[in-house]
Structure formats: C-alpha cells, structure tokens
Amino acid sequence: MPTNPVLPGFHPDPSVCRVDDAFYLTTSSFEYVPGLPIYRSENLVDWEPIGHALTRESQLDTRDARASGGIFAPTLREHEGTFYLTSTNTNGGGHFVVTADDPAGEWSDPVSVDAPGIDPDLFFEGDTAYFTYFTTDTDRGIEQAEIDLETGELGDRYTVWTGHEDPHAEAPHVYERDGSYYLVAAEGGTHTGHSVMVGRGDDPTGPFEPHPENPILTHRDDFYRDVHAAGHADFVTDADGNWWLVCLGIRPRGGFPGWHHLGRETFLAPVSWADGWPVVAGEEIPTEIDGAALPGDTAPANADPSPVEHTDTDFSGGRSHEWLYRRTPDRDRYAFTDDGLVLRGGPETLDEPGTTLLCRRQTNFDCRIRADLAFDPDPGEEAGLALVMDEQHHYEVGVVGGGTEGGAKGEPTAVVRLTIGDATDVLAREPVDERVTLGVDAAAESYEFRVDGEVVADARPKYLATEVAGGFTGVVVGPYAVADGEPAEATPARVERFVYEPVDR
C-alpha cells in the first residue's frame, strides 16, 4: 500500500498541477542549485525527477545566499499550454515568474514582479491572471492584484485575507469549484502549530468567509503523532474529478518533543466536499494511502526506489537530477568523466560557502551510503563524504594529506570530524591507501562512519536537526574536496562510484 511521505527528505512547500493524466510538482529549493526541482507522476505517489526550472546563472545566483535563503515557496500552474512557475528569490530580486512549454525542458529567464513578501500564487480566470502573495505585514496580510505575465506589472493591490486565527497567514492559493472561489492559506507558523485554513467567496478577489471547521488540516493537537507541522497545502484534481492536496510535514525522532533532520517533506491526502467546503478525512495526513482511490496505474505505489531514494552511479552519464550544488558552483571544480566524478578542492572548507561539494538529499532514516575514492593528497588537501545541514552543522569522513607543508609527503589518513556550532571534534584517524571506500550507515538516531568497511566512529543525527541548527532545509550527503591553494592546482579527488540505498530494519 502506498505510504506517506510521497516525496521524502527536504521537499518543502509543494505545489502541484495536472495536465491530462500527468501531475507535475515542485518544491522550495533555498540556496541549492539547480533551483526548483520538477517532478512528474501519473498516480500522485510515484514521483520521477524530470529537471529543474532554474538551471542557469541568468536565472539564479546563490553565491551570496545565507543558509536557508535563496528560493522560497513556489506555485506551479499550467494555462493554455504554457507552464507558469512563480516563486521568491529572497537573496535579491524578490518575486518572479518563469515559463516553459515543456516542464522537463528549458525554462525562461525570470520576469520580476514588484511586490513585497513571499509565497506568491497564480490563478487564471479566463484572460485574467491573479497574483496573490503574503506581504509579511500583519496589517496588510495576504494581498492580491491582477498581473500582466509578460511584463510582471501588477494592477491595483488589495488585501484578501488577514488570517482566521493568525495574522501571519502564509502560502495562499486560489481555486474555483462549481462557481465558488476558495482561498487556502497556512497559519500557525511553519513548525508544530502549522495548519491549513480555507475561505470561500463568490469572486476570486473575495471577500472570503472562513470555513466553519477551520483548520481543515493540522497536527498541532497531538504531539505524539508520527507527523508534525502539517501545512502549506496545494490542491489538485485528478482526471475523474477527485480532489487531493499535497502539503509539507516533518517526521520527528528522539521521543517527545523530538527533532527532525531529513527536513520538511511532501505528503498527500485525499480531499472530499461537504456543503460546499473541502474536508480532509480525520483532519490528518494518512500514514497509508488508499491505492484503489489513486489515479493512474497505482501498482508500483512507491514500492520501488526511484532516483529520489536510490542512487548507484559512476558519474559517467553526468549529473543526474537528484544531484545538487550547495550554492551556485564554480563548475571548473567538477568533471564528470568515464572514470568517475573528479573534484578539485579550493580554499573553502565545509565551514564556509563555496565549498567543492556535490550532494543529494538524505531521504531515508535508514540508508547505506558509500563512496569509492581515489585520492593521493598533498598536505593541506582533503576529500571525502559529507553530511551537511549548513556551514555550522556538518559531519564528514574524509581523507587528508599527511606530512607538512613544504616537507616530505606522508601517508594519507582518513578522519571523522563533527562540526556542531562553534565546536569541531575529530572522532577517528585511520591510515588509508590511495584508494579507499568511505561510508555512512544511517539509522533514525545514529550515523556509523566506515572506512574500508570497518566502523570507526558514530554520531547522532540530532545535531544536524532543524531544532539544533535552525533553517528550513534538511541533511544532504555527498562527496567534497578542499585544498589550500587554487582549485586548478589541487590534487584531483576521483569518486569512482557513489551508492545511496534505503535499508529495511
């Protein structure tokens, strides 16, 4: 039976649309590049990564983005054969709209929209497009205006919602059903108080009366649920007219009140209607999803690992869609060859932006991660396998050069290092050859670090969790490289194979 989350690991603020029998979904990407991942599904549970909307520096440059800065919550819509994606670059530029004829292909350069706040939405009514957004001003609340999508110019702005329970109402989306218009918004913050509110009106501009049973979805009433922070919902209909919502949630570990390190994930729930209002059964996200109710071919039903949850690569085919750079990269530091991924480190360590790092999301509590590394470092050089939340919270098992600067070259050494806030600790040192397999065996409350198959150290994921590190993302994992000097002069570190696979426990 299909289970939630349908997109595990760091996939927050989902937005979804349907064209014929296919669904398309995107999520926030923050400082990571490429930005705004695009997924495709025919049954709402098996999501195939098909590309990103922001792939060029002319669209996105996050070199100066803070941790959990960059690209915030998007809205994805299709209208008369064109896909529209709007979001906010909090690193500069604000709201924007990009378009594509094929969501798996190239998207346009951004068209800027001059409006305050975050969380923009697009709603189409005939030839009119409405732009709705959260101002971050409690007096103005959620505003709306007509938009010229070719220029980004807005018409007169007006407030449509100031919150049902909370003036900090976010994540607006507008829909039409049977001649009525619905505004869906998130209230209660983005953590354990998160909730989904609904208003209804006779016009897309409002006014919107609150749902009599608001909130229609929240997990704030029971901290012992498996899923917390349910909210930031987007609705979609399938080809049979059934309604669904996708939303974000977190899966805490470590007992009450818990902590989460995989990030905010994408969940699915069915929506029914009663007296002209949307209803979520049980007002909660189901752990298991009724496969018979899903659209399309539901036989696989997220049982077989997709690239989202399984990677086994020698990198000869280049960078596949699950791989990310932590910020806009210096691409000269990365070479995808028939012999593997060749990294050249620069002076930036994992404590700093700009590190040579290629990563993918950790999407499973229980997983096995391995990197076969060929590396003969000089003193001051390092390469290996890192688990990263941000520059102040990361773990790594890496190979460092032996000897002293200007002296005789020594034997390379594998080290396990933890950085938590201002503290850094080395847990293990092991001599290694020029070829070594570095690994992490992850469980819900532990990481075991391996060097050539042997466990050499362990650590708790808790210290990479949002409750410790802060931020809006989740743990990513992948190979990195560091060198004292210029990357062009650095000893190349070659990752001959990388494996990420879920483990049943």
Q: Name the pLDDT band for 289 (thresholds 50, 70, 90).
A: very high
- Helix, strand or coil, per DSSP, at residue 182: strand
For residue 350, pLDDT beyond 50: yes
Q: Which pair of structure tokens corresponds to residue 207?
A: 């006014």
By residue count, the chain amounts to: 505
Lowest mean pLDDT among 29-43, 287-301, 415-429: 287-301
User: Taking residues 459-473, what's their average pLDDT?
Assistant: 97
For residue 264, the 8-state DSSP code is -
| Token pair belonging to 333 | 């530091």
**Tokens 């001003």 — which residue?**
137
Q: Quick one: pLDDT at residue 304?
A: 57
Residue 257 — pLDDT band, cuts 50, 70, 90? confident
CATH 2.60.120.200 residue ranges in the chain?
311-502
Weakest mean pLDDT among 16-20, 70-74, 85-89, 227-231: 227-231
Task: Dig out the tokens for 136 from the structure.
Answer: 């971050």
Separation of CA 61 from chain center = 17
Residue type at 456 in one-letter notation: V
pLDDT band at 405 (very low <50, low <70, confident <90, very high): very low
What local confidence, expressed as pLDDT, does residue 333 receive? 98
Active site amino acids: 13, 170
Residues pairing with 97 in the sheet = 86, 111
CA separation for the pair 202, 199 (Å, rounded): 11
Where in the chain do CATH 2.115.10.20 domains reside? 15-293
Residue 403 has pLDDT above 80, yes or no: no
Q: Contact 364/3 with Cβ under 8 angstroms?
A: no
Q: Give first-to-last CA distance, the chain, whole Å.
A: 18
DSSP 105: S
The domain made up of 15-293 has a fold known as Tachylectin-2; Chain A (2.115.10)
Average of per-residue pLDDT across 400-421: 81
DSSP H or E segment with residue 469: helix 466-469
- Percent of the chain whose pLDDT exceeds 70: 97
* Mean pLDDT to the nearest integer, 102-119: 98
For residues 267 and 2, the model is more confident at 267
Mean pLDDT of 231-240: 97
How large is the average pLDDT for residues 439-465? 98
Whole-angstrom distance, CA of residue 259 vs CA of residue 443: 14
| 414, pLDDT greater than 70 | yes
Q: Is residue 468 over pLDDT 50? A: yes
Average confidence (pLDDT) over 175-182: 98
Which region among 304-313, 330-339, 390-399 has the lowest average model confidence (pLDDT)? 304-313
Task: For residue 173, list its beta bridge partners.
Answer: 184
Q: What's the average model confidence in pLDDT over 468-485?
A: 97
Taking 60 as the threshold, does the pLDDT of residue 399 lie above it?
Answer: yes
Q: 223 pLDDT exceeds 80?
A: no
Percent of the chain with pLDDT over 90: 87
Please determine, for residue 127, whether its predicted confidence score (pLDDT) is greater than 60: yes
> How is residue 466 annotated by DSSP?
H
For the entire predicted model, the pTM comes to 0.96
pLDDT of 20 over the 60 cut: yes
User: What value does the mean pLDDT of the chain take?
Assistant: 94
Is there a contact between 85 and 74 (Cβ–Cβ < 8 Å)? yes
Q: What is the CATH number of domain 311-502?
A: 2.60.120.200
Q: Determine the pLDDT at residue 406.
A: 46
Determine contact, residues 253/365, Cβ cutoff 8 Å.
yes
* Confidence category of residue 298, pLDDT binned at 50, 70, 90: low
